[in-house]
Structure 1
Amino acid sequence: MKTKKNISLYITIIIIAIIWLIPLYVIFLTPFKTSGELFSNILGLPKSFSFANLTRVWEEIDVLHYMKNSVIITFVSIVITVLLSSLAAFAISRSKWKITKATYFLFVLGLMIPTQVGMVPLFLTVKSLNLYNNYFGLILSYIAMSTPISIFIFVGFFSSLPNSILEAAYIDGCKEMQIYSKIVMPLSKAAVSTTVIYNSVLIWNDFTYPLLFTRGDSIKPLPLAIYSMKGEYMSDYPAVFAGIVIATIPILVIYIILQKQFIQGMTAGAVKG
């Protein structure tokens, strides 16, 4: 009976894996096809693996310029989000005041509100602050979007740290900021990596905020530039997919570098002590 259950489990896992892998297969194979090959057999292999689509996209839409914009927006947003969220989470996890729990609830409440609900007031706020078509307008919007989940991750991890370590630091005369910077954050690589990867994927791939808060090409990020390749009546899908592959590579590199800490961070705070 147990063997049958194991076989059913393995079959289910294989089916789910195939469902997930087919879109990835199509995405990473399409740039090496022609439009004719794509539409004649979307799952088929290309007759010859050519880098022509990748080269053409790189040259035609000035990938380096748009990638630079994406890097600036993502990097600054992530750095500020990690700093502010970890400080807030440290205060929440260490404080015993009742108002602290209410504050934490307000932060977590941000996870329950769909992003689309706040688009109109956020757009009006950005316009009133003269931050439209400005790096800071996008960066501040992303910080606001990323803070709730980041605080949630950090509070869960900080709450799992042994109190004996922090109490020993107090006895040695460390102040709160010294404990935060010299003890808590060096022990929080898993939580930091989880926050960085999770928010980087959202910010790097985001399409809606750049569409709302930018115009022209000066600060346009890469996803919006790729969308501009789509024609009104006809689209060169191999070229579009080539742009998607190029845009995916930086996030894949970040994940490969931080994957060990990311996996640890996914379970951080599950067991207190």
Structure 2
Amino acid sequence: MSTATAGRRIPRPASAPAGRRPGYGRYLLELVLIAVAVVFLFPVYALVTLAFKTPSQIADSPLSPPTSPTFDNFGNAWSEASLGSALVNSAIITALSLLLLIVIGSTGAYYLARCVSGLGYGLYVLFLLGIILPFQLGMIPLYKLVDSLGWLGTYQGMILFYTGIQMPFTIFLYTGFIRALPPDYAQAALIDGCNHRQAFTRIVFPLLRPITGTVIILNAVFIWNDFFTPLLYMGGSGKETVPVAVFSFVGQYVSDYGLVFAGLVLAALPILIIFLLLQRYVIKGFAGGIKG
């Protein structure tokens, strides 16, 4: 023993309490998480299982694994409900709406985040009110507006609707992220001779990749899965989106649930792929970091 530690009492590690297993709390937490995962995965299991069954198999044992899986439901769902054209319609509406939300939302949020006047704060509060108030309150005026523009049953009517409805939420996400960024990057660009537009597009916007991924995922899921608005604005136009097309399988007296669930599986695949590609940006975007 060295002279520095001589005479000093070295504390011993405390022993585990008698009658208690080490790691018991950890095992209990794992069991709870497994149970929660089973609860969340059960609807996915039911969806995929029913998609591969015939109507007779669904009637006999709906939740048992399919003994003889059939792929006819997917082919019939693609042809009978015109699911291919519905996927194209949903893709066009979703992609163009996201483009406008990203361009307008990021630009407006940059001004709100860097503006120190009362006007900027007032506009930001106004956008927050747009998140709190449900858009169903304005469905009738919005419908009349789109009808007066002659945009019922058109892509631009749906794109205008989704851009306006989701803009407050997009502004909220972008503003919080930009406020967490140091302003030195844009100021350095301004000193080097760039104007505000060039400083934003060349310096600030590339740093917004995490929150842009979050904006894409959250808005795409809402737009892609929305049923009521396309039914109201696009019903009978021949440009129905995927949820409206799948709904055509359900009738008042007859419902082919095999086709319904096969259509749901096909409809969920594109948005699932987007989520898997961009999921790492969700946490980064909410955390407010600048690493992409």
Superposition TM-score tier, normalisation by shorter sequence:
over 0.9
Aligned length: 270
Task: Decide whether the 8 Å contact of 2:82 with 2:245 is kept in 1.
Answer: no
Bigger shift: residues 22-31 or 212-221: 212-221
State yes or no: 1:184 paired with 2:226.
no
The 5 A counterparts of 1:191-206 are 191-206=211-226
Deviation (angstroms), 1:217:
4.2
- Corresponding letter in the other structure for 2:215: T
Unaligned runs of 5+ in 1: none
State yes or no: 1:245 paired with 2:277.
no
> What is the TM-score with the length of structure 1 in the denominator?
0.93
- Corresponding letter in the other structure for 2:204: V
Match of 1:97 among 94, 105, 117: 117
Match of 2:274 among 227, 230, 254: 254
Percent same amino acid at aligned positions? 36
Q: Distance in 1 between matches of 2:117 and 2:237?
A: 48
| CA displacement, residues 52-81 of structure 1 (integer Å, 9 cap, x when unaligned) | 111111121222211111111111111011
State yes or no: 1:66 paired with 2:52.
no
State yes or no: 1:79 paired with 2:74.
no
Deviation (angstroms), 1:125:
1.5
Give the structure 2 partner of residue 108 of structure 1: 128
What's the Cα RMSD here?
1.7
Task: Decide whether the 8 Å contact of 2:177 with 2:288 is kept in 1.
Answer: yes
Give the structure 1 partner of residue 243 of structure 2: 223
Bigger shift: residues 98-107 or 126-135: 126-135
Q: Distance in 2 between matches of 1:22 and 1:223?
A: 21
Q: Distance in 1 between matches of 2:141 and 2:196?
A: 37
- Corresponding letter in the other structure for 2:231: L
- Corresponding letter in the other structure for 1:138: M
Match of 1:122 among 122, 136, 142: 142
SS in 2 for 1:173: coil
Q: Which stretches of structure 1, 4 residues or longer, exceed 6 Å deviation after superposition?
A: none
> What is the TM-score with the length of structure 2 in the denominator?
0.87
Bigger shift: residues 89-98 or 208-217: 208-217
| CA displacement, residues 241-268 of structure 1 (integer Å, 9 cap, x when unaligned) | 0001111111011112222223321322
Unaligned runs of 5+ in 2: 1-19
Going from structure 1 to structure 2, the CA distance change for 1:102 and 1:221 (only over 3 Å counts) comes to same
Q: Distance in 1 between matches of 2:134 and 2:276?
A: 30
State yes or no: 1:131 paired with 2:151.
yes
Deviation (angstroms), 1:163:
2.1
State yes or no: 1:88 paired with 2:108.
yes
| CA displacement, residues 163-200 of structure 1 (integer Å, 9 cap, x when unaligned) | 22222222212211011100111111111111011111
| CA displacement, residues 65-110 of structure 1 (integer Å, 9 cap, x when unaligned) | 1111111111111101111100110000111111211110110111
